[in-house]
Chain A
Amino acid sequence: MLRYIAYRLALLIPILLAVSLLVFVLLHMGRGDPALDYLRLSQIPPTDAALAEARHTLGLDRPLAEQYLVWLWRALHLDFGTSFVTGRPVLDDLLYYLPATLQLGGAALAVTLLVSLPLGIWAARRPGRWPDQLVRFIAFFGVSMPNFWLAFLMIALFSVLLGWLPPMGRGGLEHLVMPVLAVALMSLSINARLLRASLLEASGQRYVLYARLRGLPEGQVWRRHILRNAWLPVVTAIGMHVGELIGGTLVIETIFAWPGLGRFAVSAVYNRDFPVLQCFTLLMTGLFVFCNLIVDVLYAWLDPRTRLEGAQVC
């Protein structure tokens, strides 16, 4: 198992390298000019001389290949450059905003699990009956509703109309409610339906029939035979949800003025803050790959069959 984990972590290096190159190329393929954005933000009239000076200051006057190699060399020393916009080291800014995003994403993940699991089980225990229909309705609603739209609707109701919840900022639990719901709803909906389908599939298996024939109590049948087998697809899905949740925070943080990474990255996109976008993408790739690694390890632990296969691969 340790060898497997080491192998997966080693795989991270070419992945990050490829992602960094891809992002670099994509950023520079766009025709927008960060120097122009810098001047706009600085309220400096964009004269030729000012543009040249800004390009020089931002290091954009060097050949592209050189820019990438310099960036890469520094990145290997954990120096990801200076933000065009804030003037601070990129890593410093990103790490500053990371906890707020982890808090939001973590809370959303927790809510996703805490709500989708009971809903999925509830629906699967009564297929075709009203609980199932209700969960189906919630799921359709959740999947169809864009998260930013839900965010605005919630703000209109709970903040503007009723005045119950603060519409923005980071603070106590009350600040967390709406952003977390907005981020989590889609993952939660997918997860509930997935678990329901998975449970129903597992409960149709022969071993469940045999368990029942053996006279095991129904609770035990569900716990030990249906749930344990139905977990697996859901665990894989959770790995995917991590990406979804992080993607969700990008927009939601901007709407709720949540001082996190997502909002910082969205501003960086607007202002063509290349160093920030480069580092942000790497950080997110690393986080995503790492979460999937955890999921895979968890998967192996839950399912002895994959563990065996994994051992053979290693």
Chain B
Amino acid sequence: MNQLGFKRKLGAFLLAAGMILPAFTQAEVLTYSWPTNAGPLDPRGYSPNQMYAQAMVYEPLVRYRADGSVEPWLATHWDISPDGLIYTFTLRDGVRFSDGSVFDADAAKTNIEAVMANRKRHAWMELVETIDHVETPDANTLRLILKHPYYPTLLELAQVRPLRFAAPDAQPGRPVGTGPWQLVESRRGEFDRFARNPYYWGPRPVYDEVLVKVIPDPSSRAIALETGQLDLIQGSEGEVSADTFERLKGKGYHTAISAPLATRVIALNSNLAPTNELAVRQAINWAVNKDAIVKHVLYDLEPRADALFSTNLPYTDIGLKPYDYSPDKAREALEQAGWVLKSGEKIRYKNGQPLRLELCFYGANALQKSVAEVVQANLGSLGFDVVLKGEDEGALVERQRDGRFGMIFAETWGAPYDPHSFVSSMRYAGHADYQAQKGLPMKAMIDQEIGEVLASVDEDKRQTLYRHLLTTLHEQAVYLPISYLTATSVSRDSVENVQFGSTLFDVPFEVMKPAGN
């Protein structure tokens, strides 16, 4: 009887399971991973708030596009006053926060004023310092009044933080935004679960949920993908290593490399011998075999960089002539500048001084070390004596601050900071760029032009200024561009339409689809 009872129970269970299971399997979940939890998701908070997650939950007035322009988002239209001081935005109708409350001019104003109340914290973003006050003529119109003209205003409004919008009446600590997703569950050290925002104004995401598992180790992440625990790996900070990327590609997983998002460069110090000579800086640019670096060190994951900024960024497609790999040209330039290699010697000398310089890099970064070794070998074959200095980050920052480097590794800040924020920082001591440019005879003019370009309200004038500025830096060879940083993605068959965000910091889950959908 017992057995019969068990069979009946089993039958009933299977029947019930059969009815319930389809309901479960219908929920489409995209699994992704991140090294840490998403954080409390304060729209204006920095670490531990993760930007990919803030970008899922909170939306900007205008959105950054991959070509460097902005498109309407929570604002459908905007006008800029001729003097560049007043930005008037028409807000999108029918936008609601994920708790059902309405997004209007007052909600937007509350958020922007919350940022302004904490200016010091957000001082790195020039716009925060530049906004004088906010006006709301009506429920659908928002007006920003600036202290002085600042052309990157729209670009900075597009950034993931701090100028995005949370529901002003949400309970403290509860993340409520207008974005396609809402955070519904978070388990420390394990996962964060995002569900669709039922009130979302835009196209409904196809996935019901995005489950983000906490996996700090890149090897473990790759294994998770291979064993079906993850659908997608995507990121720009080594979320998957170059050789693992190749291996997974070879195994038939879908792989993709994004358009250039930032630049890996080596800054050359124009204020310190021997790189204070233009001929030496140019020779370095001709002497380094970037193609070999890209192929053997970067496994072709990053394209070769020929200029400080990639041409897909605004104002940077100005036809700069690349320094081609040409040891002969480099040798000739050095000879003409008086750097002589005596027979039987390995190092060039000029007036009794050796052609010696330090190349400083972050010692724990294996990739920088490999690149540094190639540079050392390339330059060494031409009579340079390159001393490699692998140090910790703090030591490197000190070197950047006081200019104690011959060559030093750097990265541009990437979209949407490039070129305007990066160029802006060149004016401040404490940056490698400032120190590298300090010895240029036209440094004062460069700094002045940067100030002018940021305040310029005339598009043509801005392009002219950028052209002059970037051409000068290029011709003065204060940078040795190596490659353009990219984001990479590896995905299983289970997910389709995998795309990259337009910046280093967002992943467009809302456009991804389950296979066969």
Instruction: Give A residues with C-beta under 8 Å from B.
Output: 30-33, 36-38, 40-51, 53, 57, 84-87, 93, 96-97, 100, 152, 155, 159-160, 163, 166-170, 254-257, 259-260, 263-264, 266-267
Q: Please state if A42 and B47 are interface contacts (CB–CB under 8 Å).
A: yes
Q: Please state if B124 and A167 are interface contacts (CB–CB under 8 Å).
A: no
Within 167-213 of B, Cβ neighbours of A (below 8 Å) are at: 187-190, 213
- 8 Å CB contact of A44 from B35, B46, B189, B429: B46
- 8 Å CB contact of A160 from B216, B226, B397: B226
Main secondary structure of the interface of B (DSSP, over half): loop
Task: Find chain A residues with CB under 8 A from B428 CB.
Answer: 47-48
User: Quick check: is B451 within 8 A (CB to CB) of the other chain?
Assistant: no
Interface size on B, residues (CB 8 A): 44
Q: Please state if A257 and B220 are interface contacts (CB–CB under 8 Å).
A: yes
Q: Please state if B124 and A97 are interface contacts (CB–CB under 8 Å).
A: no
User: Quick check: is B494 within 8 A (CB to CB) of the other chain?
Assistant: no
Task: Find chain A residues with CB under 8 A from B51 CB.
Answer: 43
Known A155-B223, A267-B36; judge A47-B189 contact (CB<8 A): no
Q: Please state if B46 and A47 are interface contacts (CB–CB under 8 Å).
A: no
Q: Please state if B216 and A263 are interface contacts (CB–CB under 8 Å).
A: yes
Shortest CB-to-CB span from A244 to chain B, Å, is: 21
Q: Please, how many angstroms separate the alpha-carbon atoms of A36 and B430 in the complex?
A: 13
Q: Please state if B123 and A53 are interface contacts (CB–CB under 8 Å).
A: yes
A35, closest chain B residue (CB) = B394
Q: List 13 A-B contacts (CB under 8 A).
A: A36-B394, A40-B393, A41-B48, A47-B123, A85-B47, A100-B189, A167-B224, A167-B227, A167-B229, A168-B223, A168-B224, A257-B216, A259-B214
In this complex, the member of A43, A45, A159 whose beta carbon has the largest number of chain B beta carbons within 10 angstroms is: A43
Q: Please state if B124 and A49 are interface contacts (CB–CB under 8 Å).
A: yes
User: Quick check: is B368 within 8 A (CB to CB) of the other chain?
Assistant: no
The 4 closest A-B pairs by CB, nearest first: A259-B189, A42-B46, A41-B47, A33-B394
User: Quick check: is B413 within 8 A (CB to CB) of the other chain?
Assistant: yes
Q: Please, how many angstroms separate the alpha-carbon atoms of A96 and B431 in the complex?
A: 40
Known A163-B227, A166-B227, A255-B220; judge A43-B505 contact (CB<8 A): yes
Shortest CB-to-CB span from B97 to chain A, Å, is: 24
Q: Please state if B214 and A38 are interface contacts (CB–CB under 8 Å).
A: no
Task: Find chain B residues with CB under 8 A from A33 CB.
Answer: 393-394, 397
Q: Please state if A47 and B124 are interface contacts (CB–CB under 8 Å).
A: yes
Within 140-166 of B, Cβ neighbours of A (below 8 Å) are at: none
Chain B 256-286 interface 0/1 with A at a Cβ cutoff of 8 Å (1 = within): 0000000000000000000000000000000
A267, closest chain B residue (CB) = B216
Shortest CB-to-CB span from A127 to chain B, Å, is: 42
Task: Find chain A residues with CB under 8 A from B391 CB.
Answer: 31
Shortest CB-to-CB span from A294 to chain B, Å, is: 28
Task: Find chain A residues with CB under 8 A from B127 CB.
Answer: none
- 8 Å CB contact of A47 from B121, B190, B229, B425: B425
Known A43-B505, A96-B188; judge A31-B220 contact (CB<8 A): no
Q: Please, how many angstroms separate the alpha-carbon atoms of A86 and B213 in the complex?
A: 17
Q: Please, how many angstroms separate the alpha-carbon atoms of A57 and B121 in the complex?
A: 9
Q: Could you list 9 further interchain pairs (A-B, Cβ under 8 angstroms) beyond the known A96-B188, A266-B216?
A: A40-B393, A45-B413, A48-B429, A53-B120, A53-B121, A84-B47, A96-B189, A256-B220, A259-B188
Shortest CB-to-CB span from A166 to chain B, Å, is: 7
Q: Please state if A160 and B227 are interface contacts (CB–CB under 8 Å).
A: yes
Task: Find chain A residues with CB under 8 A from B123 CB.
Answer: 47, 49-50, 53
Q: Please, how many angstroms separate the alpha-carbon atoms of A259 and B429 in the complex?
A: 43
Q: Please state if A254 and B394 are interface contacts (CB–CB under 8 Å).
A: no
A37, closest chain B residue (CB) = B393
User: Quick check: is B219 within 8 A (CB to CB) of the other chain?
Assistant: yes
Shortest CB-to-CB span from A108 to chain B, Å, is: 19
Shortest CB-to-CB span from A250 to chain B, Å, is: 12
Task: Find chain B residues with CB under 8 A from A167 CB.
Answer: 220, 223-224, 227, 229
Q: Please state if A36 and B229 are interface contacts (CB–CB under 8 Å).
A: no
Q: Please state if B392 and A30 are interface contacts (CB–CB under 8 Å).
A: yes
Task: Find chain A residues with CB under 8 A from B48 CB.
Answer: 41, 85-87
- 8 Å CB contact of B215 from A32, A159, A168: A168
Q: Please, how many angstroms separate the alpha-carbon atoms of A45 and B37 in the complex?
A: 22
User: Quick check: is B417 within 8 A (CB to CB) of the other chain?
Assistant: yes
Q: Please, how many angstroms separate the alpha-carbon atoms of A100 and B220 in the complex?
A: 19
Shortest CB-to-CB span from B390 to chain A, Å, is: 13
Q: Please state if A32 and B394 are interface contacts (CB–CB under 8 Å).
A: yes
Q: Please, how many angstroms separate the alpha-carbon atoms of A38 and B393 in the complex?
A: 12
A34, closest chain B residue (CB) = B394
- 8 Å CB contact of B217 from A30, A47, A51, A257: A257
Q: Please state if B392 and A32 are interface contacts (CB–CB under 8 Å).
A: yes
Q: Please, how many angstroms separate the alpha-carbon atoms of A266 and B36 in the complex?
A: 12
Task: Find chain A residues with CB under 8 A from B219 CB.
Answer: 152, 255
User: Quick check: is B421 within 8 A (CB to CB) of the other chain?
Assistant: yes
